[in-house]
Amino acid sequence: MRQNADQITVFKARTILTMDPNRPEATHVAVKNGHILAVGGADCADQWGTVTHDERFADQVLMPGLIEGHAHMMAGIIWNFFYAGFHDRMDPQGKWWKGKPDLATVVADLKDIEKTLPEGAPLVGWGLDPIFFTGERLSKKHLDAISTTRPVVIMYANFHLMGVNSKALEMVGYDRHTNAEGVVKGADGTPTGELQEMAAMFPLMRRCGIDFRQMTKTEDAIRTYAEVCRRTGVTTATDLYAQLEDEDVARLLKVTSEKSFPIRLVPALGVAGTNPAESAELALRYKAKSTERLRLGSVKLMTDGSIQGWTARVKWPGYVGGQPNGIWNMSPEEIHAMVDAMQAAGVQMNIHTNGDEASAVTLEAIARAARRHPWRDARHILQHA
C-alpha cells in the first residue's frame, strides 16, 4: 500500500472494527503519508481534498494492528518441542493443538510421543500451567511413568520452572545431597523433579539441547515468530530478553528489512548478570542502528521469579501455603546498580517484577536513580507488577 507523499487513499472494507467505543464500526478508512487520516463512510476524507478509492479489501474485515507488549522470540521456534498446555493453541503453520485438561492427559499424550523418538533422545514438552490443575503437583513420579530410560522435561508456561523425571535428575547429579536453590525436595529429602529458575534448570537444559538463546539465533526463528504474530493480528511485538551480540543485530536488521516481514520488532537487551556500564553503552550503540521495523535500545532486567511457582519475592505475610519466599534472579544490590547505570545513560528499562517485594525494591532503585540522574522523559516499565 505504498502511496505518493500527498496522496489520500480511501480503503473500503466489509467492516472496520475501530476499537473506538465512540464509533465501533465503519466501512472506509482514509490513509495519507502512512497515517490514518479519517474513518467513516465513503466520503470520510472528502473535505481533505482529492481522494483515490481502493476496494482491494472490500470483502474483508479490517482492524488496527495489535501491540504485544510482553513476548519472546522463542514463541515461534518453541513449537520444535511438544505442546503440553491447558488451552487449545495454534502453531505457526496454523494448526490447532488441543489443550490438556489434566495431568493424566499430559502424561498419556507424552507417552504416545515418547514411542516415536529415537533411543536416548530427550522428550521435551512446554506450556504446562499448574494453576489449572487440582490434586497432585507435577513430579518425577508422573514423568517416570512416561520413561525411565530417557530424560523427560516439561517446561512450565512461565518458563521459570520445569518438571523432570528421575533420569533427568540423574543426568545432572541432583539427589538428596544437593544443596542448590531451586532444586525442590520432598518430605523424603529427595528431589521431587521440580526445578525452579535458571540456575537450577540450566545444567539440564544444556544437556537436553534446550538453549533459548541458540533457538532464536537463526533467520528462521525470526520469521517464525513474525508468523505467530501475523496469525493473531499483532503488528508490533517485543522480545523481552534478547541476548544480543553484533551478529544477532545484523541478522535482525537483514530479516526485518525484507519487504514481506509483517511486524515491527522491539527487542530488549537482557542485562541480568552483566556489567551495568558496559550494558548501557551497548544498548545505546544498538539503538543507533534502529529502523522503522526494528526498534533497538531498551533493556530487560530480571529481578525475581514466578508467583505460580512461588519463586516471586513477596512481602509479609508471604505465601498462603507457607512456602519459602522466592528467588532473586538479581540481588537487590545488583538491581540498584543496574537501574542507576541505565537511568544515568538514558536507557529505557523493562523490569520483570512479579512479587510485591521485587516491585518495592525496584521502585526504590528507580526513585534513587531519578534523584541522582534526572531524566524528564524516562519511561521505565515494571512488567507483571
Instruction: Transcribe 118-166 into DSSP letters.
Output: PTT--EEEEEE-GGG--SSPP-HHHHHTT-SSS-EEEEETTSSEEEE-H
SS3 203: helix
pLDDT value of position 293: 97
Architecture of the domain made up of 82-209: Roll (3.10)
- HSE-up of 309 (CA within 13 Å, CB side)? 27
- Per-residue pLDDT tens over the stretch 283-338: 999 999 999 999 999 999 999 999 988 999 999 999 999 999 999 999 999 999 99
Question: Which three three-digit cell numbers place residue 53?
Answer: 478509492
Q: Is the peptide bond before 317 cis (omega within 30 degrees of 0)?
A: yes
Spatial CA neighbour of 302 closest among 353, 244, 369: 353
Alpha-carbon distance 338 to 330, whole Å?
Answer: 10
Spatial CA neighbour of 130 closest among 149, 147, 96, 155: 155
How does residue 6 score in pLDDT terms, banded at 50, 70 and 90? confident
**CB of 197 within 8 A of CB of 160?**
yes
pLDDT value of position 147: 97
Domain chopping of the chain, boundaries: 8-64, 82-209, 218-383
**CB of 13 within 8 A of CB of 62?**
yes
SS3 25: strand
Q: Is the pLDDT score of 57 beyond 90?
A: yes
Spatial CA neighbour of 168 closest among 181, 154, 151, 182: 151
Burial of 304 (0-12, 13-18, 19+ CB in 10 A): buried
What is the average pLDDT across 235-251? Answer: 97
Mean pLDDT estimate for the chain: 96
pLDDT > 70 fraction of the chain, expressed in percent and rounded: 99
Range 8-64 has CATH code 2.30.40.10:
yes
- Per-residue pLDDT tens over the stretch 248-261: 999 999 999 999 99
What is the average pLDDT across 125-142? Answer: 94
pLDDT value of position 3: 54
3-state SS string for 234-250: EEEEEEEEECCCHHHHH
Q: Is the pLDDT score of 122 beyond 90?
A: yes
Alpha-carbon distance 5 to 267, whole Å?
Answer: 30
- HSE-up of 49 (CA within 13 Å, CB side)? 7
pLDDT value of position 186: 96
pLDDT value of position 346: 98
Model pTM score: 0.86
Alpha-carbon distance 24 to 22, whole Å?
Answer: 6
How does residue 153 score in pLDDT terms, banded at 50, 70 and 90? very high
Question: Which three three-digit cell numbers place residue 194?
Answer: 521440580
β-strand partners of 234: 66
According to DSSP, residue 72 is labeled: -
Q: Is the pLDDT score of 70 beyond 60?
A: yes
How does residue 215 score in pLDDT terms, banded at 50, 70 and 90? confident
pLDDT value of position 8: 97
SS3 283: helix
Phi and psi dihedrals of 360, rounded to 5? -65, -45
- Per-residue pLDDT tens over the stretch 349-377: 999 999 999 999 999 999 999 999 999 99
Q: Is the pLDDT score of 34 beyond 90?
A: no
Sign of CA dihedral 333, 335, 340, 345: positive
Spatial CA neighbour of 103 closest among 140, 144, 145, 136: 136
Question: Which three three-digit cell numbers place residue 52?
Answer: 483515490
pLDDT value of position 309: 87
Question: Which three three-digit cell numbers place residue 193?
Answer: 523433579
Spatial CA neighbour of 193 closest among 213, 170, 222, 163: 163
CATH of 218-383, one of 2.40.170.20, 3.20.20.140, 2.120.10.30, 3.40.50.10470: 3.20.20.140
Residues 241-264: b if buried by 16+ CB within 10 A, e if exposed: bbbbeeebbebbeebbeeeebbbb
Alpha helices in the chain (DSSP H): 74-77, 103-114, 140-144, 166-172, 197-208, 212-215, 219-231, 246-256, 276-287, 332-345, 356-372
Alpha-carbon distance 158 to 309, whole Å?
Answer: 9
